[in-house]
């Protein structure tokens, strides 16, 4: 079968769930995963066999399962990481956060911890760029830590992963603290994509509606005691409330917009 015909078959089915551009991207991810071929192969009119694997993958995709979980793979800032349904799929905004940290601290050699590490995406990239730093990641979830450790081994990057409930346990001092904590209130569920709700781990997404800023406040107060520089990903809805809270405490902070020009990346520093 011509790859162009296969692409048409995929996009025809997937546009029932996704926009055309997203459906095409998913097809190209599958093509690369199965045959290590890119868009050029399609444009050149190359042929392929429509095997069982294509059909099985298409079926899972049509069930609404995100392509990264179907392929057990997610790209993140130059690393191809293993992911499954026990960890959040790493997002482009988080790559932006990592980019900001790396720009702020070239050749960093101190200590850093990522709180709520999921797949380990943040500390693994930091370790790749900072070979002499002491890089750690923690999470409350045993399953997520297994994935992070698997990625550390597969990428040959020496990151220390450990279990911690950051809301109830102490944390030893670090020079830098990074976190993309759970920040979606349960009341926002109705606005979310069905496949995020169905497939991504709720412990990674949701925070108690009574205080959606709980993780930020807890981590910033910890960082204040330790004089650690902190970097966060957050929701654009929280900027006014976080601004007020940070000003009340006299903490220095700066926002950076994400790709969609939303203030979702935050740095907090202490003298
Ligand atoms: C939004 S995900 C971020 C995952 C990853 N850092 C990323 O950016 O893709 C939040 C993570 O925080 C973890 N988490 C939730 N509650 C926690 C707690 N009380 N203490 C530590 N980690 C927690 C979840 O298991 C999840 O892996």
Nearest atom of ligand 1 to the alpha carbon of 94: 8
Question: How far apart, in whole angstroms, are the C-alpha atoms of residue 267 and residue 4?
Answer: 46
Distance 139 CA to ligand 1 centre (A): 6
Which tens digits make up the pLDDT trace of 239-268? 999 999 999 999 999 999 999 999 999 999
- Could you tell me the two tokens for 121? 């995406």
Tokens 């995709």, residue?
61
Distance 240 CA to ligand 1 centre (A): 23
Nearest atom of ligand 1 to the alpha carbon of 89: 9
pLDDT at 30: 95
- DSSP string covering 33-56: HHH---HHHHHTT-B----HHHHH
Q: Which residues of 100-124 are buried (b: 16+ CB within 10 A; e: fewer)?
A: ebbeebeebeebbbbbbbbbbbbbb
Nearest atom of ligand 1 to the alpha carbon of 183: 1
Average pLDDT, the chain: 95
The tally of CA atoms less than 13 A away on the side-chain side of residue 141 is 23
Residue 195 has pLDDT above 90, yes or no: no
Binding site membership of 120 for ligand 1 (Cβ less than 6 Å) = no
pLDDT at 14: 95
Which tens digits make up the pLDDT trace of 139-191? 999 999 999 999 999 999 999 999 999 999 999 999 999 999 999 888 888 88
Pick 271 or 202 by higher pLDDT: 202
Binding site membership of 165 for ligand 1 (Cβ less than 6 Å) = yes
Mutation choice for ligand 1 from 95, 204, 264, CB with most ligand atoms inside 8 A: 204
Which tens digits make up the pLDDT trace of 37-75? 999 999 999 998 888 899 999 999 999 999 999 999 999
Distance 174 CA to ligand 1 centre (A): 18
Contacts of 9 (CB under 8 A, 6+ apart): 58
Binding site membership of 90 for ligand 1 (Cβ less than 6 Å) = yes
Binding site membership of 181 for ligand 1 (Cβ less than 6 Å) = yes
Count of helix runs (H) and strand runs (E) in the chain: 12, 11
Distance 190 CA to ligand 1 centre (A): 22
Q: Alpha helix (H) ranges present in 91-213?
A: 92-104, 121-129, 142-154, 194-199, 202-205
Nearest atom of ligand 1 to the alpha carbon of 114: 6
Global confidence as pTM: 0.94
Q: Do strands 176-179 and 111-115 pair parallel, antiparallel, or not at all (unpaired)?
A: parallel
Query: Which phi and psi angles does 77 have, rounded to 5°?
Result: 45, 50
């Amino acid at each position: 079968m011509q790859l162009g015909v296969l692409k048409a078959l995929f996009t025809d089915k997937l546009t029932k769930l996704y926009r055309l551009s997203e459906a095409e991207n998913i097809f190209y991810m599958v093509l690369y995963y199965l045959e290590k071929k890119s868009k050029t192969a399609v444009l050149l009119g190359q042929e392929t066999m429509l095997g069982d694997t294509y059909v099985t993958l298409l079926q899972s995709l049509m069930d609404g399962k995100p392509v990264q979980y179907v392929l057990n793979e997610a790209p993140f800032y130059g690393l191809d990481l293993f992911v499954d349904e026990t960890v959040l799929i790493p997002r482009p905004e988080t790559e932006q956060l990592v980019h900001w940290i790396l720009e702020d601290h070239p050749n960093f050699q101190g200590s850093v911890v990522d709180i709520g590490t999921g797949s380990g995406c943040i500390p693994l990239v930091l370790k790749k760029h900072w070979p002499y730093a002491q890089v750690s990641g923690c999470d409350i979830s045993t399953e997520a830590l297994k994935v992070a450790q698997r990625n550390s081994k597969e990428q040959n990057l020496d990151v220390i992963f450990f279990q911690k409930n950051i809301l109830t346990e102490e944390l030893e001092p670090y020079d830098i603290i990074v976190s993309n904590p759970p920040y979606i209130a349960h009341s926002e569920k109705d606005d979310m994509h069905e496949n995020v709700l169905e497939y991504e781990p709720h412990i990674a997404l949701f925070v108690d509606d009574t205080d959606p800023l709980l993780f930020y406040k807890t981590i910033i107060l910890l960082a204040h005691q330790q004089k650690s520089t902190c970097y966060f990903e957050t929701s654009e809805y929280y900027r006014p409330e976080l601004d007020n809270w940070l000003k009340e405490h006299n903490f220095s902070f700066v926002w950076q917009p994400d790709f969609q020009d939303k203030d979702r990346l935050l740095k907090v520093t202490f003298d």
